[in-house]
Amino acid sequence: MDLQDKIAFVTGAGSGIGAAGARKMAAEGAFVVVTDRDGDAAQATADAILQAGHRAEAVTLDVTDDAALVAAIDGVAAQQGRLDILHSHAGIQVEGKLEQVDVADMDASWQLNVRAHFVAAKATVPHMRKQGRGSIIITSSNSGVQYDREMIAYATTKHAVLAMTRQMAADYAHENIRFNALCPGFIDTPFNRGFEIQMGGRDKLEEYIASEIPMGRFGTVAEIAEGIAYLASDRSSFMTGQALVIDGGECI
């Protein structure tokens, strides 16, 4: 129970990696605030945690609404008396190369994949400063450490958020507030839809997984959740400014 009585706030936790990370942190003892734009999905994740005998609550939250995001974080810190973990996970995947991506879609990618993480971290730091410590996990992607063909909006924003995470880590390490980036590879969730379109269908994606990923398979949300729990806990207490890449060797 390495996260016993810690307070965790997770965005994009209604499904996939976000939900798995929330469940894992709760299983390790944390009280988890599960947020998602889809309130029913957030509630389903929270209900699964509660049914397993752990602690959680659900909040409907659109992270592109600055005021709502800040208010949610401030509200949890006020209600619980502290905020130990932020996993800023919500993101968007827009496929296409330069001439195929509308400016509006690039703006949407930036807003959700970079700006929302900035706002969430900015709101969280003052609460962690009061308690003298904290762990902020921001989801990038292994696309943040390599370049995906015909995925300009996604790769650009994932590189940007990794740079931002490292900058924040450098700025706040002396306050014992740690920032690390979670960089998953191909995990078999609906979030891969953009890559499926770009590659020409599900069968083409599966061919890529089998031939180009050294381990020859998709990862699982449970495997990524282990990384989330590691970054959240004191098991990674001397780790900040890092990109934790979990991708079956794809980026090597």
pLDDT surpassing 80 at residue 140: yes
So what's the pLDDT on residue 201? 81
Q: Is 154 a catalytic residue?
A: yes
Q: Which of 147, 154, 208, 230 is catalytic?
A: 154
Q: Tokens standing for 114?
A: 């970079």
Q: Please, what sign has the CA dihedral across residues 213, 17, 168, 154? A: positive
Partnered with residue 184 across adjacent β-strands are 246
What is the side-by-side order of every strand in the sheet holding 31-36?
Answer: 55-60, 31-36, 7-10, 85-88, 134-139, 177-184, 243-246
> Is the pLDDT reported for residue 112 higher than 90?
yes
**What's at 246, amino acid-wise?**
I
Q: In this model, does residue 199 exceed pLDDT 80?
A: no
For position 119, what pLDDT does the model report? 98
Instruction: Supply the DSSP string of 167-206, one letter for each residue.
Output: HHHHHHGGGTEEEEEEEE--BSSGGGHHHHHHHTSHHHHH
Please give the average per-residue pLDDT across 201-208, as a whole number: 82
Q: What is the pLDDT of residue 198?
A: 74
Residues with Cβ within 8 Å of 89's Cβ and at least 6 positions away in sequence, in order, are 10, 11, 12, 13, 17, 18, 21, 137, 139, 182
Q: Considering only 33-42, 68-77, 92-101, which range has the smallest mean pLDDT?
A: 92-101
Residue 210's pLDDT band, with cuts at 50, 70 and 90, is confident
* pLDDT tens digits along 147-178: 888 889 999 999 999 999 999 999 999 999 99
- pTM of the complete model: 0.95
Confidence category of residue 206, pLDDT binned at 50, 70, 90: confident
Q: Measuring CA to CA, how many Å separate 73 from each of 41, 149, 178, 207, 246?
A: 19, 36, 17, 42, 28
Burial 16-52 (b: 16+ CB within 10 A, else e): bbbbbbbbbbbbbebbbbbbbbeeebbbbbbebbeee
Contact 32, 11 (CB under 8 A): no
Average pLDDT in the chain: 95
Indicate the CATH number for domain 7-246: 3.40.50.720
d(CA 63, CA 170): 25
Confidence of residue 212 (pLDDT cuts 50, 70, 90): confident
Rounded to whole angstroms, the Cα distance separating 227 from 138 reads 12
The arithmetic mean of pLDDT across residues 6-22, rounded, is 97
Residue 111: predicted pLDDT:
97
Task: Please report the pLDDT score of residue 155 as a whole number.
Answer: 95
Q: Read off the amino acid at residue 40.
A: D
* Helix (H) or strand (E) segment spanning residue 19: helix 16-27
Residue 27: predicted pLDDT: 98
- Percentage of residues in the chain having pLDDT higher than 90: 83
Inter-residue contact 88 to 69 (CB < 8 Å): no
Q: How confident is the model at residue 196 (pLDDT cuts 50, 70, 90)?
A: confident
